[in-house]
Amino acid sequence: MAQARTLTDQELQRVLDFAATTKAAQRNRVILLLTHWAGMRIGEVASVRYSDVLSTDKQVLSEIRLNATQTKGNKSRTVLLSERIRAELAQYIAAHPPRDIHKPLFPTQRAQGFTPNTLTHIVNGLYRQAGLNGATSHSGRRGFLTRLSEKGVSVRVMMQLAGHSQMSTTQRYIDTRPDILRNAVELI
């Protein structure tokens, strides 16, 4: 099975621009950015509740603590949130304040949370409609780890950020793009 395509910054902007034209523009933007900027799996994004991202005084936390039922592999993990994604979450929550903090952050029309499968279809549809063939709900996570690698972050740190227990798993996520290869030989 082919791996999900990693996006360039311009391609990510293209899908975000397309998402801005959709009915649930802000929701779709934040879902995409949680995969690209926080490296979350689509199933983890589907499982997030307001209480996972908000402190008791309703401020966006600097990390999301996912319990074992919310993750792949049935192991709890912590997702660190950058200032950029925290600002996006704050805007989304300001526009969609919680009635009950234990409800899904991204409710369906019936106020239930999306299943991972349904959210996968939504995200894959956004990529397809933006003309990004080969991009899937896993593209954000692969891009997250690829960008960290390009910035010189160690594989051990990336393992922890991704919630992987094996270094070889993390290494499979890293895409080697032609410009990175060119830059590498120019270091000599």
* CA atoms within 13 Å, Cβ hemisphere of 53: 28
pLDDT reported for residue 111 = 65
Q: Is residue 173 part of a domain?
A: no
The DSSP code sequence of 57-114 is TSPBPSEEEE-GGGSGGG--EEEE--HHHHHHHHHHHHHS--SSTTSBSSB-TTSPBP
Residue 42 lies in a domain: yes
Residue 131 lies in a domain: no
Question: Could you tell me if residue 5 is inside a domain?
Answer: no
Q: Determine, yes or no, domain membership for 38.
A: yes
Q: Is residue 133 part of a domain?
A: no
Q: Which residues contact 101 (CB under 8 A, 6 or more apart)?
A: 49, 50, 51, 54
Prediction pTM value: 0.88
Write the CATH number for 51.
1.10.443.10
- Convert the pLDDT of each residue in 51-101 to its tens digit: 999 999 999 999 999 988 888 878 889 999 999 999 999 999 999 999 899
Looking at the structure of the chain, the number of domains it has is 1
Distance CA 112, CA 103 (A): 8
Q: Whole domain around residue 28: which residue ranges?
A: 23-115
